[in-house]
């Protein structure tokens, strides 16, 4: 048996240890965007534009290297300058173009003003009421996200109100042709959980004119993160006889993002011919779109099989007594 000698600093040929260089530092702050349980996308941040704490949430706008300015609320990414048009056009135009002639539109949330911007492109729209919880989000967007709102807050058709979207639909007597719900994800302890429940959708239903449609953002759909979107779909289905899910790939999110379209009549959005969508855009939309057209529409409404299967499975719906509340795994904030 041989005995191994431990080397010591006095061994000939061994150099004394030297102080290690400082740990390698990234040149940027890296911002993590939750994509699915245990999956985050990292974005290089060039600098902070503004950060304020409102009564409801922390509001931050940063300049990213790859996707321009980005709005975060309570640390959660809301939208990026470079691809927000893909999200907002997909959220708004299917509902407005599938409605025969939308005049009165309600937007719940949508603090950046980009949802409103898309609504106001429609020549038929006479009145767009936007209700966001937080005046400080709108103030920050007004000053620092000019390409997002593009002046929509000051359009004469806009009626901007501040308050809880749920309280608005429960107390208002107004009726709308289309309701667009663009509130933050239902994060545990966040301000929007009560805007994803069956009871809330029933009140939204009461605010629709006959033939009215509702469209909402309904969370990411990824291989490992389908349950929230599926629960939102089931919950919408509990309030309306007809509902369709659709999704778009958002480059900055590196995931597909889902939306739900619902109404009292059949919404067979997948069957509408692309040439019909293009004809409606030409007749009804006042300025050129960057993403949505007939072909894009067809793709939006044709989901991959694993997503369709998850959405068709039976499961619980979100109710006031037990609302859907998301949490980031591995997050301590």
183 near ligand SAM, rule: CB under 6 A = yes
User: Which range in 98-106, 179-187, 234-242, 305-313 contacts ligand SAM by CB under 6 A?
Assistant: 179-187
Per-residue binding letters, 259-288, with ligand SAM (x by CB under 6 A): ------------------------------
142 contacts: CB under 8 Å, gap ≥ 6? 113, 149, 153
Rounded to a whole number of angstroms, the minimum distance from the CB of residue 299 to ligand SAM is 20
* Binding residue for ligand SAM, selected from 33, 182, 256, 326, defined by CB under 6 A: 182
104 near ligand SAM, rule: CB under 6 A = no
Residues 200-239 that bind ligand SAM (CB under 6 A): 217
Please tell me which residue in 182, 206, 219, 273 is annotated as part of the active site: 182
- Per residue, what are the HEC states of the chain? CCCCCCCCCCCCCCCCCCCCCCCCCCCCEEEEEEEECCEEEEEEEEEEEEEEECCCCEEEEEEECCCEEEEEECCEEEEECCCHHHHHHHHHHHHHHHCCCCCEEEEEECCCCHHHHHHHCECCCCEEEEEECCHHHHHHHHHHCHHHHCCHHHCCCEEEEECCHHHHHHHCCCCEEEEEEECCCCECCCCCHHHCCHHHHHHHHHCEEEEEEEEEEEEEEECCECHHHHHHHHHHHHHCCEEEEEEEEECCCCEEEEEEEEECCCCCHHHCCHHHHHHHHHHHECCCCCCCCHHHHHHHCCCCHHHHHHHHCCCCCCECCECCCECCCCCCC
* Binding residue for ligand SAM, selected from 191, 212, 225, 323, defined by CB under 6 A: 191
Rounded to a whole number of angstroms, the minimum distance from the CB of residue 109 to ligand SAM is 3
Query: Cβ(211)–Cβ(264) under 8 Å?
Result: yes
Rounded to a whole number of angstroms, the minimum distance from the CB of residue 114 to ligand SAM is 8
User: Which range in 180-188, 243-251, 312-320, 321-329 contacts ligand SAM by CB under 6 A?
Assistant: 180-188
255 near ligand SAM, rule: CB under 6 A = no
Catalytic residue status for 206: no
192 near ligand SAM, rule: CB under 6 A = yes
Rounded to a whole number of angstroms, the minimum distance from the CB of residue 207 to ligand SAM is 14
Rounded to a whole number of angstroms, the minimum distance from the CB of residue 41 to ligand SAM is 13
The residue among 167 and 295 lying less far from ligand SAM, judged by its C-beta, is: 167
Per-residue binding letters, 131-170, with ligand SAM (x by CB under 6 A): xxxx--x--------------------------xxx----
CA-based nearest residue to 201, from 138, 108, 307: 108
Residues 41-80 that bind ligand SAM (CB under 6 A): 73, 78-79
Rounded to a whole number of angstroms, the minimum distance from the CB of residue 169 to ligand SAM is 10
Rounded to a whole number of angstroms, the minimum distance from the CB of residue 88 to ligand SAM is 8
Compute the C-alpha angle 120/122/123, nearest 5°. Answer: 110
110 near ligand SAM, rule: CB under 6 A = yes
Cα–Cα distance between 23 and 218 in angstroms, integer? 41
Which residues sit at the interface with ligand SAM, rule CB under 6 A?
73, 78-79, 108-112, 131-134, 137, 164-166, 182-185, 191-192, 195, 217
Active site residue ranges: 182
């Amino acid at each position: 048996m041989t005995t191994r000698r431990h080397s010591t600093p006095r061994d000939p040929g061994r150099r004394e240890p030297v102080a290690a260089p400082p740990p390698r530092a990234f040149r940027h702050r890296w911002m993590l965007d939750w994509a699915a349980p245990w999956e985050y996308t990292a974005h290089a941040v060039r600098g902070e534009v503004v950060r304020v704490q409102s009564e409801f949430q922390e509001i931050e706008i940063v300049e990213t290297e790859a996707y321009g300015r980005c709005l975060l609320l309570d640390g959660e990414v809301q939208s990026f300058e470079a691809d927000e048009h893909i999200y907002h056009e997909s959220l708004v135009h299917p509902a407005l173009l599938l409605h025969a002639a939308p005049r009165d539109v309600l937007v719940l949330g949508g603090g950046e003003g980009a949802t409103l911007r898309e609504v106001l492109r429609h020549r038929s729209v006479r009145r767009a009421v936007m209700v966001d919880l937080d005046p400080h989000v709108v103030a920050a967007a007004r000053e620092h996200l000019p390409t997002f709102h593009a002046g929509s807050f000051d359009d004469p058709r806009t009626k901007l109100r501040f308050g809880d979207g749920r309280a608005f639909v429960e107390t208002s007597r107004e009726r709308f042709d289309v309701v667009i719900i663009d509130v933050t994800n239902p994060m545990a302890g966040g301000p929007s959980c009560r805007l994803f429940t069956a009871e809330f959708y029933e009140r939204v239903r009461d605010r629709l004119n006959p033939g009215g449609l509702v469209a909402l953002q309904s969370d990411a759909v990824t291989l490992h993160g389908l349950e929230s979107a599926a629960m939102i779909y089931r919950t919408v289905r509990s309030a309306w006889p007809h509902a369709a899910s659709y999704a778009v790939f958002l480059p900055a999110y590196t995931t597909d993002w889902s939306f739900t379209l619902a109404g009292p009549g059949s919404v067979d959005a997948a069957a509408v011919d692309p040439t019909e969508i293009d004809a409606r855009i030409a007749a009804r939309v006042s300025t050129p779109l960057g993403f949505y057209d007939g072909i894009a529409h067809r793709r939006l409404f044709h989901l991959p099989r694993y997503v369709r299967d998850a959405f068709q499975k039976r499961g619980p719906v979100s109710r006031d007594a037990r609302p859907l509340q998301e949490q980031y795994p591995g997050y301590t904030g």
